[in-house]
């Protein structure tokens, strides 16, 4: 089947080279049983490619199931995928078949494969290598015939280097990688997609289709679309429902687009205790960097302060400023430092740079002590403190740290922390 026929059959809009190549690879690999890894940002349509591969394969008349690995708790994902026996764990009142058993002969799509726990990764590797699996709580080996398609929006090789993803599984999954391009990399398709979505929503809501003037069209094409096709579709629906005008100008369109800049800073989202460990680590690293940069600025400010005391001639034209500086007490300076350096999270550096002045405002000592900036050391220290604070109660400690109990358990093993 040629590329245009695939687009017509599955409603794929776009003519970019990267998109056509991804569709070509999907078509070529569909009639094999090779494992496929679909790589792309959130919202680019990775699941659509999984459906295309299944529909063009010899398994098309058998079952297809999509599983989001990031949405299943670590304690139950093995049971969901491989099944369990009665009484194998609390709440297992009956035996249950897993997806690899019920979908045998068909295709299973494992989305967000980078979120899969290490233990489950070992079980999956065995299925891929030998087609065998064991239910939770059983010793009986069972066989399955399932085509596995996986997808991720993360860099799995980087996770391998961090010890969060099995290297053998990575190379087993990436037999045939398919890279789905981000929407900003296929600008020629943006307006085509918008017109298709606007037409669909005009039919759905019995209204006239939205149109854009030339400036608004250019704005739409050059917007970075961090949410990709999903975001573009949502914007098209918002405009179709809310806009009073059917011909949008650039000012009207701007009301529906999120402000952005080329230097987009990361957003620190508040953790609800259910986020994954990776997002928590990223936010923590950003906070630490801000704190250490702030400490560096304070140290530089103190150095300038001392230079002024030593060489009043530097700003001799403003003698009143010198007098005000000399009237400052040491405690005032140190209190200022503690307010600026101490972060809101309660974290305090182990050793702070100190400035001591004698009673006559002469310089007595200026000592700077470098502290460890190793993120892992600070993370371990915070975990130990949280466990002591909550008397080794993991649930309370995890809540206090802003991470899930599952992530805390993994960190305890990773840092070899005794409770």
Question: What CATH number has the domain bearing residue 213?
Answer: 1.10.8.60
- pLDDT class for 355, splitting at 50, 70, 90? very low
Range(s) of the domain holding residue 357: 277-367
CA pair distance 383, 389, nearest whole angstrom: 10
Whether 339 and 292 map to the same domain: the answer is yes
- pLDDT class for 222, splitting at 50, 70, 90? very high
Residue-wise pLDDT tens digits, 82-126: 999 998 888 888 999 999 999 999 999 999 999 999 999 999 999
**pLDDT given for residue 409 in this prediction:** 80
**pLDDT given for residue 17 in this prediction:** 94
Q: Which residue has the higher pLDDT, 329 or 250?
A: 250
Neighbouring residues of 140: CB distance < 8 A, sequence distance ≥ 6? 134
Q: What angle do CA 115, 120, 123 make, to 5 degrees?
A: 140
In a domain? residue 193: yes
- Burial class of residue 102, CB neighbours in 10 A (0-12, 13-18, 19+): middle
Whether 44 and 117 map to the same domain: the answer is yes
CA pair distance 44, 369, nearest whole angstrom: 49
CA pair distance 129, 214, nearest whole angstrom: 55
**pLDDT given for residue 113 in this prediction:** 96
Give percent above pLDDT 90 in the chain.
Answer: 55
Q: Which residue has the higher pLDDT, 373 or 231?
A: 231
Q: Which of 128, 148, 157, 141 is CA-nearest to residue 59?
A: 148
Whether 99 and 220 map to the same domain: the answer is no
Whether 136 and 8 map to the same domain: the answer is yes
Range in 95-109, 168-182, 238-252, 310-324 with the lowest mean pLDDT: 310-324
**pLDDT given for residue 291 in this prediction:** 66
**pLDDT given for residue 371 in this prediction:** 53
Query: Phi and psi of 132, rounded to 5°?
Result: -115, 150
Per the structure, the count of domains in the chain is 4
Whether 11 and 127 map to the same domain: the answer is yes
Q: Is residue 319's pLDDT more than 70?
A: no
**pLDDT given for residue 340 in this prediction:** 42
Q: Is residue 402's pLDDT more than 70?
A: yes
Residue-wise pLDDT tens digits, 139-154: 999 999 999 999 999 9
**pLDDT given for residue 382 in this prediction:** 85
Domain boundary among 181, 212, 244: 181
In a domain? residue 271: no
Whether 218 and 127 map to the same domain: the answer is no
In a domain? residue 259: no
In a domain? residue 262: no
**pLDDT given for residue 413 in this prediction:** 80
Range in 26-35, 113-122, 378-387 with the lowest mean pLDDT: 378-387
Q: Is residue 347's pLDDT more than 60?
A: no
Q: Is residue 129's pLDDT more than 90?
A: yes
**pLDDT given for residue 373 in this prediction:** 58
Q: Which residue has the higher pLDDT, 338 or 254?
A: 254
Q: Which residue has the higher pLDDT, 355 or 79?
A: 79
The whole-number average pLDDT for the span 191-202 is: 94
Whether 154 and 86 map to the same domain: the answer is yes
In a domain? residue 266: no
Q: CATH number, domain at 391?
A: 1.10.10
- Burial class of residue 202, CB neighbours in 10 A (0-12, 13-18, 19+): middle
**pLDDT given for residue 282 in this prediction:** 55
Contact (Cβ atoms closer than 8 angstroms) between residue 38 and residue 180: yes
**Which of the given ranges, 220-234, 253-267, 381-395, has the highest pLDDT on average?**
220-234
Residue-wise pLDDT tens digits, 235-291: 999 999 998 888 999 999 999 998 765 444 444 444 444 444 444 455 556 666 666
**pLDDT given for residue 260 in this prediction:** 66
Whether 205 and 120 map to the same domain: the answer is no
Whether 118 and 14 map to the same domain: the answer is yes
Whether 175 and 214 map to the same domain: the answer is no
Q: Is residue 310's pLDDT more than 80?
A: no
Sheet of 64-68, strands arranged across: 64-68, 107-111, 147-152, 36-39, 176-179
In a domain? residue 265: no
Whether 146 and 124 map to the same domain: the answer is yes
The whole-number average pLDDT for the span 386-408 is: 83
Q: Which residue has the higher pLDDT, 400 or 356?
A: 400
Scan for tokens 């010890």, then name that residue: 163
Is the pTM value of this prediction over 0.75? no
**pLDDT given for residue 287 in this prediction:** 65
Whether 125 and 7 map to the same domain: the answer is yes
CA pair distance 118, 164, nearest whole angstrom: 7
In a domain? residue 330: yes
The CA distances from residue 91 to 73, 82, 202, in Å, are 15, 16, 49
Q: Which residue has the higher pLDDT, 388 or 235?
A: 235
CA pair distance 57, 107, nearest whole angstrom: 10
């Amino acid at each position: 089947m040629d590329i245009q026929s695939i687009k017509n059959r599955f409603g794929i809009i776009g003519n970019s080279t990267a998109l056509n190549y991804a569709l070509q690879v999907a078509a070529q690999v569909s009639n094999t049983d090779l494992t496929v890894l679909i790589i792309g940002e959130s919202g680019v349509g990775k699941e659509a490619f999984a459906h295309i591969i299944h529909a063009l394969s010899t398994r098309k008349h058998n079952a297809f199931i999509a599983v989001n690995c990031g949405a299943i708790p670590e304690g139950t994902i093995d049971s969901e995928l491989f099944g369990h026996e009665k009484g194998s764990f609390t709440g297992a009142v009956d035996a249950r078949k897993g997806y690899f058993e019920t979908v045998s002969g068909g295709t299973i799509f494992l989305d967000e494969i980078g979120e899969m726990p290490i233990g489950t990764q070992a079980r999956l590797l065995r299925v891929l290598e030998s087609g065998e699996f064991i239910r939770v709580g059983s010793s009986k080996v069972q066989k399955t015939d399932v085509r596995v398609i996986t997808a991720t929006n993360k860099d799995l090789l980087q996770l391998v280097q961090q010890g969060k993803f099995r290297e053998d599984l990575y190379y087993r999954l990436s037999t045939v990688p398919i890279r789905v391009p981000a929407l900003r990399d296929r600008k020629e398709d943006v307006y085509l997609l918008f017109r298709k979505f606007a037409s669909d929503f005009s039919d759905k809501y019995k209204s006239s289709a939205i149109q854009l003037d030339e400036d608004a069209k250019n704005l739409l094409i050059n917007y970075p679309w961090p949410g990709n096709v999903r975001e573009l579709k949502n914007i098209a629906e918002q405009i179709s429902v809310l806009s009073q005008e059917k011909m949008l100008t650039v000012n009207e369109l701007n009301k529906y687009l999120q402000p952005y800049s080329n230097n987009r800073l990361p957003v620190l989202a508040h953790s609800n205790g259910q986020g994954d460990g990776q997002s928590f680590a990223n936010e923590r690293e950003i906070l630490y960097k801000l704190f250490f940069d702030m400490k560096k600025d304070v140290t530089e400010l103190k150095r300038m302060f001392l230079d002024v005391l030593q060489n009043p001639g530097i700003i001799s034209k403003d003698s009143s400023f010198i007098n005000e500086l000399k009237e400052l007490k040491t405690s005032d300076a140190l209190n200022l430092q503690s307010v600026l350096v101490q972060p809101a999270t309660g974290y305090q550096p182990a050793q702070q740079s100190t400035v001591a002045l004698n009673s006559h405002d002469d310089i007595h000592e200026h000592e700077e002590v470098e502290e460890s900036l190793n993120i892992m050391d600070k993370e371990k220290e915070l975990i130990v403190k949280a466990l002591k604070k909550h008397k080794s109660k993991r649930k309370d400690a995890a809540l206090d740290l802003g991470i899930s109990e599952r992530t805390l358990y993994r960190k305890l093993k990773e840092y070899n922390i005794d409770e």
